[in-house]
Amino acid sequence: MLTVAIVGKPNVGKSTLFNRIISERKSIVLDEPGVTRDRIYGIGEWLNKKFSIIDTGGLTNEELPFAENIKIQVGYALDEADVILFVVSAKDGINENDLYVAKLLRKFKHKKIILVGNKSESDKNQNVDFYQLGFGKIFYISAEHGIGVGDLLDEIVKLDDSKPTDEVEEQQDKTSFCIIGRTNVGKSTLMNAILNKERSLVSEQEHSTHDAIDEDFEYEGKQYTIIDTAGIRRKGKIVQLVERFSVMRTEKAISRSKVVILLLDGSNDFNEQDEIIGGLAFKANIPTIICVNKWDLARKNKISVEQTTTTIRQKFKFLSWAPIIYVSAKNQYNIPLIFDTINAIQREQTIKVNTSMLNNILAKAQITNPPPLYHGGRIAISYATQVNSQIPTFVLFVNKPEFLHFTYGRYIENKIRESFGIKYTPITVYYKSKDARIRKE
């Protein structure tokens, strides 16, 4: 598949063009330079041909935060690319940063470089002498309004000598998982350790990742998609618009994941913000792995697994079913255990419970521990069945759902877990009036 990289100075509309091509608002777009810092990947399609496309951070020769790290990330994208879209602003003209980018790209003259003059809504914006950059013909477009983008895509697919694909090839189902956590707990370092390469920008400065970043990869013959996310601060500190975007993208990343990795910093005390972020995973009702990072530092500080596990179970009672693993992303310690745990979770997600066995277990549970009086009556379970869902889900038909006390509901859930070996995934138990089942039958 052809790979296309979009490069240029800050604030020329690279992310707008990226989103236009993939037909999705994946990269954050704001009228503010330096918003995109990592490499963002997507799939474009034109005239029945698909190609991989990479959005990159803005290149500048100014001494700005992250400038050097962005340059490194852009370098990776350029190495991967078959085609490079050098985006300039037809509205603003050429400045020293454009000349700086042009100089860098001359090292890649062996690759196809297409000069793109964005923000060309008006003909008067097409009078700038971009030929001085040394890349020949310029394609004038407006990424925001879609003007000229079709001609640009025509030029891109001409360079692809693969055969058109009229049908989407069937692909192996991928397990998608995201990494969430507060700022500076090592999310991007963990992603790089899992992929065994410098995929995400890593910085000691907090909040260096804004976008949710996807990467497909294979591990021991299985297909995965990993989603890195921006660190979430307390709401009171989310004062910049770009950070609010990052929070929303983190929530979206959780919603499209099959597993969530909640990353904690084992070398420091856990705080309220860790609990709030864990609550996002709980609210989404998605299997979650509590991953304690920087365990190499924690051990140097004489912090024990037993002590930390006890603290986590106290602070994250709502994630009582979540497995806890201890890793060092920096030293790549225990990284394979992440995949072993994901596999264990997936086995539990596919458990099919025998209906008669389920009903026998619940009948014995009610005899062993009768339900308490609540709201003027006692709940009585007459029939139970499992229904298809992403996580183990059960429907229990009862006399009156309002008679259920939450402590008895927890007791019933624990009985189901113990009986069928469901330890590492959330389960859902619905209580419905038995009259509803009778009417249905």
Q: What is the pLDDT of residue 100?
A: 92
Q: How many CA atoms lie within 13 A of 40 on its CB side?
A: 29
- How much is the pLDDT for 205? 42
* Top-confidence range, 14-28, 113-127, 306-320: 306-320
Half-sphere exposure of 42 (CA within 13 A, CB side): 23
Q: Work out the angle between the directed axes of helices 272-284 and 241-255 (0-180°, nearest 10).
A: 40
Please provide the average confidence, as pLDDT, over all residues in the chain.
83
Contact 201, 37 (CB under 8 A): yes
213-219 vs 138-140, strand pairing mode: unpaired
Lowest mean pLDDT among 106-120, 310-324, 350-364: 106-120
Could you tell me what percent of the chain has a pLDDT over 90?
A: 50
Query: How far apart, in whole angstroms, are the C-alpha atoms of residue 349 and residue 342?
Result: 10
Q: Higher-confidence residue: 122 or 146?
A: 146
CA-to-CA distance for 139 and 152, rounded, in angstroms? Answer: 7
278: CB partners within 8 A, 6+ apart: 262, 288, 290, 316, 318, 319
Residues 365 and 374 sit within 8 Å (Cβ to Cβ): no
Confidence of residue 55 (pLDDT cuts 50, 70, 90): confident
For residues 422 and 318, the answer to whether their CB atoms sit within 8 Å is no
Total residues found in the chain within this entry: 441
Other CB atoms within 10 Å distance of the CB of residue 225: 16
pLDDT for 273 equals 86
Whether the predicted pLDDT of 411 surpasses 90? yes
Q: What is the pLDDT of residue 127?
A: 63
Instruction: For 134-175, write each residue's pLDDT tens digit.
Output: 888 899 999 999 999 999 999 999 988 765 554 444 445 689
| Alpha-helix residue ranges (DSSP H) falling in 81-132 | 96-105
Cα–Cα distance measured from residue 331 to residue 310, given in angstroms and rounded to the nearest whole number: 25
Q: Which two tokens stand for residue 193?
A: 């350790």
Residue-wise pLDDT for 2-46, tens only, equals: 999 999 998 899 989 998 998 865 444 444 444 344 567 788 989
Q: Which residue has the higher pLDDT, 284 or 115?
A: 115
* Tokens read off for 286: 């998605």
- In which band, very low, low, confident or very high, does the pLDDT at 391 lie, cut at 50, 70 and 90? confident
Crossing angle between the packed helical segments 149-158 and 14-22, to the nearest 10 degrees: 70
58 pLDDT more than 90? no
What's the rounded mean pLDDT across residues 327-338?
A: 95
pTM of the model: 0.60
- C-alpha dist (Å) from residue 107 to 130, 302, 423: 19, 50, 54
The whole-number average pLDDT for the span 215-221 is 87
